[in-house]
Amino acid sequence: MAEFIKKHIRYSWVLVGGIVGYSYYYFIGCNNGCAIQSNPYFSTAYGAFFAYVLVMPGKKKKEVKADN
């Protein structure tokens, strides 16, 4: 059950990242050809992708056993 909750919390951060990306477009974006800021779809996708990269689980470190 704990894994289920952790996974869904992780995915909710992706939604929050999309909202932050759209907010960036809405409040800060430009109108004259900026690649990310001038299009709400790119800005939202970029925010969601960035949030996904931040909350994505990393590799687990392997324990090295000493034979001494």
What pLDDT, in 10s, does the model give residues 46-63?
Answer: 999 999 999 887 777 777
30 located within any domain: yes
66 located within any domain: no
* pTM of full prediction above 0.75: no
Which bin fits 39, alpha (ψ -120 to 50), beta or left (φ > 0)? beta
What is the count of structural domains for the chain?
A: 1
1 located within any domain: no
pLDDT bucket at 10, cuts 50 / 70 / 90:
confident
29 located within any domain: yes
3-state SS, residue 20:
helix
63 located within any domain: no
Please, are residues 48 and 21 in contact by the beta-carbon 8 Å criterion?
Answer: yes
Q: Which domain holds residue 35?
A: 6-55
Q: Which two tokens stand for residue 20?
A: 């932050």
Helix ranges (DSSP H) in the chain? 2-28, 40-55
Across residues 19-29, what is the average pLDDT?
A: 89
Residue that wins the pLDDT comparison between 19 and 25: 19
d(CA 17, CA 53): 10
34 located within any domain: yes
61 located within any domain: no
46 located within any domain: yes
